[in-house]
């Protein structure tokens, strides 16, 4: 049988209904996530791991919710890097989690709270998806819950805690679950489910979607190659899954392809910097309690790929003969994933980079190490399912609890370092809206009757800080500023052209971009720099009109109207 349970479980085990299993797993992983990610649960409204990618992703989630209901054709035209188009596609679009989180934003939840709830949920549902997958493969419910714990709290996830898009991997075990259901059962509904899960991953993170698609092709290909008769019987649901996934992902694929005209492709030089080495599979995150010290010398940035001692031990037990086709498929899937993670330090990624277009967008092939961990956890689930039935029945609950505790200890990290972010916007932006004649309040739902947004340029111009993008979720004007995975050439040019701002020589750069408003953020500038800049602007009353000067975070923000009529 394609599920591959054969001979793993030999005695009657706890077998709850799927509904009860899902409910219990959800509650369990909520409690564990609150404990392992502490103090995140105390700072859901305002705490982020850093003010880089978390704020970029907070903006993306909010932008989709703001734009999608009434202007879906322009959802990819983010309000950054004006006048560039399709700027949402300069990084991950996060469409699926944005749609899930949108009702919370409409109900009044703050953008940071929604970001953190979706982040929290990624741990819960990654664990639940793996629990369902392992239960499906082994028939052992407890093994599923323990494997789900391994997967939810993989060391990889804590090394990428600031990368929301990479943590959104809950669709991966669900897609694998649907694959096995499809191969076992053959009903069309499982082909539909597989297509929906793969499509949802593509609408969340193209990085993870490329990894998932590759892994599915390898694992599914091995299973079908070892049972050609079944392969001929399953072509309809397999075709349905491919069509559904393709239709769902096509808007993102198209917009990323069009954005290539601006951002270009990754070079081999980019990829070599993100390629793993074999030693990286022994590297744990620096905040790992159990493994940080001994594994420090094996790690590099974004290349800490250790799956955990318990995962490896249990996987070794799961690999002990007798074998079946499923375990063989996951071994092959894990080995292929490891070879891709090696990037240009191996041989396979180079071939894919040259001949398979999506792989040219991967700056860090080492992230494919996530799929190695997925394969290891599935094999570990087999090992747990093999171990527990050999424990005396009366001791089995205690043995399962000890195994679960060891898994948690293996993945436990020091309390997360979080930074508080403002949950309200500077009053400056309400002043801007009033000056335009708009209501000072702004909704996350864009209406067709909304006024045309103004073009705003904010100083200091940065390529490292998305705070101003986050502030834009409170006003939704068009920003010339931006932060993303790619920076368009026009923004780099602006960065250089405005170095002498507010000297009149810089006016042309502002005019060409349609700038009408300028803010100067004293809280983001070095001592004395802010005073010199606003003094120079105030010395040009025929070009800049002061609208407001508001205190903010120990300094102040000045807002000016820039009127190009005087330049003629």
407 lies in the same domain as 437: no
**Is there a domain that residue 96 lies in?**
no
Are 264 and 191 members of one domain?
A: yes
Same domain, 387 and 450: no
> Looking at the domain assignment, is residue 104 inside a domain?
no
pLDDT on residue 264: 64
Residue 148 confidence (pLDDT): 98
Residue 509: inside a domain, yes or no? Answer: yes
56: buried, middle or exposed (CB in 10 Å: 19+, 13-18, 0-12)?
Answer: buried
Q: Which long-range contacts (CB under 8 A, 24 or more apart) does 429-435 make?
A: 429/471, 429/474, 429/475, 429/477, 430/475, 431/547, 431/548, 431/550, 431/559, 432/456, 432/475, 432/477, 432/517, 432/519, 432/547, 432/559, 433/475, 435/517, 435/547, 435/559, 435/561
At which of 379, 411, 443 does a domain end? Answer: 411
Instruction: Compute CA distances 355 → 332, 341, 402, whole Å.
Output: 22, 17, 48
Q: Are residues 327 and 433 in the same domain?
A: no
Residue among 35, 84, 37, 94 nearest 60 (CA): 94
Whether 469 and 557 map to the same domain: the answer is yes
122 lies in the same domain as 158: yes
Residue 28 lies in a domain: yes
Q: Which of 386, 411, 436 is the last residue of a domain?
A: 411
Look-up of token digits 């705490």:
47
Residue 105 included in any domain: no
What pLDDT, on a 0 to 100 scale, did the predictor assign at position 230? 76
Range of the domain at 320: 24-45+110-411
**Global confidence as pTM:** 0.93
276 and 389 in a single domain? The answer is yes
Q: Which two tokens stand for residue 293?
A: 């010290």
Q: What is the pLDDT of residue 1?
A: 40
Q: Structurally, how many domains does the chain consist of?
A: 2
Could you tell me if residue 449 is inside a domain?
yes
Domain boundary among the residues 411, 435, 468 is at 411
Block mean pLDDT (10 aa), the chain, length 568 = 44 79 97 96 94 94 93 92 93 95 94 97 98 96 97 95 95 98 92 97 94 96 87 87 95 84 72 93 94 92 94 96 93 97 95 90 93 98 94 90 95 92 94 88 71 93 91 95 89 91 93 95 93 95 95 95 67
In a domain, 534, yes or no: yes
Question: Quick one: pLDDT at residue 349?
Answer: 93
DSSP codes, 129-153 = HHHHHHHHHHS-HHHHHHHHHHHHT
pLDDT value of residue 9: 44
């Amino acid at each position: 049988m394609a599920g591959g349970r054969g001979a793993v479980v030999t005695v009657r085990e706890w077998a709850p209904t799927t509904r009860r299993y899902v409910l219990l797993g959800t509650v369990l992983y909520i409690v564990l996530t609150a404990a392992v990610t502490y103090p995140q649960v105390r700072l859901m409204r305002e705490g982020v791991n850093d003010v880089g990618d978390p704020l970029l992703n907070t903006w993306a989630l909010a932008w989709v919710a703001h734009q999608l209901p009434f202007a879906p054709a322009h959802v990819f035209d983010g309000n950054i890097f004006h006048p560039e188009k399709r700027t949402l596609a300069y990084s991950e679009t996060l469409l699926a989690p944005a749609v899930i989180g949108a009702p919370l934003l409409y109900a009044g939840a703050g953008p940071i709270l929604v970001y953190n709830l979706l982040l929290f949920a990624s741990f819960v549902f990654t664990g639940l998806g793996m629990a369902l997958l392992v239960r499906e493969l082994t028939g052992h419910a407890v093994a599923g819950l323990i494997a789900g714990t391994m997967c939810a709290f993989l060391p990889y996830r804590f090394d990428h805690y600031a990368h929301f898009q990479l943590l959104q991997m809950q669709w991966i075990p669900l897609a694998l679950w649907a694959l096995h259901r499809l191969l076992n059962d053959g009903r069309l509904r499982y082909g539909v489910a597989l297509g929906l899960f793969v499509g949802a991953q593509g609408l969340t993170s193209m990085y993870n979607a490329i990894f998932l698609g590759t892994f599915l092709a390898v694992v599914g290909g091995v299973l079908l190659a070892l049972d050609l008769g079944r392969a001929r019987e399953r072509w309809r649901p397999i075709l349905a899954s491919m069509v559904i996934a393709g239709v769902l992902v096509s808007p993102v694929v198209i917009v990323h392809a069009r954005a290539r005209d601006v951002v270009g492709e990754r070079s081999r030089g980019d990829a070599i910097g993100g390629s793993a080495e074999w030693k990286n599979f022994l590297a744990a995150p620096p905040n790992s309690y159990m493994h940080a010290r001994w594994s420090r010398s094996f790690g590099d940035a974004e290349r800490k790929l250790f799956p955990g001692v318990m995962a490896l031990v249990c996987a070794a037990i799961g690999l002990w003969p007798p074998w079946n086709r499923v375990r063989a498929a996951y071994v092959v899937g894990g080995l292929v994933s490891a070879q891709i993670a090696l990037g240009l330090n191996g041989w396979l990624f180079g071939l894919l980079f040259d001949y398979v277009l999506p792989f040219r967008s991967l700056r860090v092939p080492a992230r494919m190490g996530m799929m190695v961990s997925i394969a290891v956890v599935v094999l570990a689930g087999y090992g747990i399912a093999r171990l527990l039935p050999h424990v005396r029945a009366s001791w089995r609950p205690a043995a399962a609890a000890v195994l679960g505790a060891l898994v948690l200890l293996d993945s436990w990290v020091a309390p997360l370092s979080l930074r508080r972010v403002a949950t309200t916007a500077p009053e400056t932006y309400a002043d801007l809206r009033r000056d335009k004649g708009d209501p000072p309040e702004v909704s996350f739902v864009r209406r067709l009757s909304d006024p045309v947004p103004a073009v705003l340029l904010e100083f200091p111009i940065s390529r490292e800080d998305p705070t101003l993008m986050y502030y834009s979720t409170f006003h939704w004007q068009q920003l010339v500023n931006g932060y993303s995975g790619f920076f368009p050439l026009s923004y780099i040019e602006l960065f250089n052209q405005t170095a002498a701002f507010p000297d009149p020589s810089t006016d042309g750069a502002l005019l060409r971009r349609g700038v009408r408003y300028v803010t100067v953020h004293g809280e983001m500038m070095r001592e004395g720099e802010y005073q010199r800049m606003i003094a120079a602007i105030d010395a040009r009353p025929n070009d800049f009109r002061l609208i407001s000067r508001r205190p903010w975070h120990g300094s102040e923000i000045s807002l000016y109207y820039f009127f190009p009529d005087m330049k003629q």
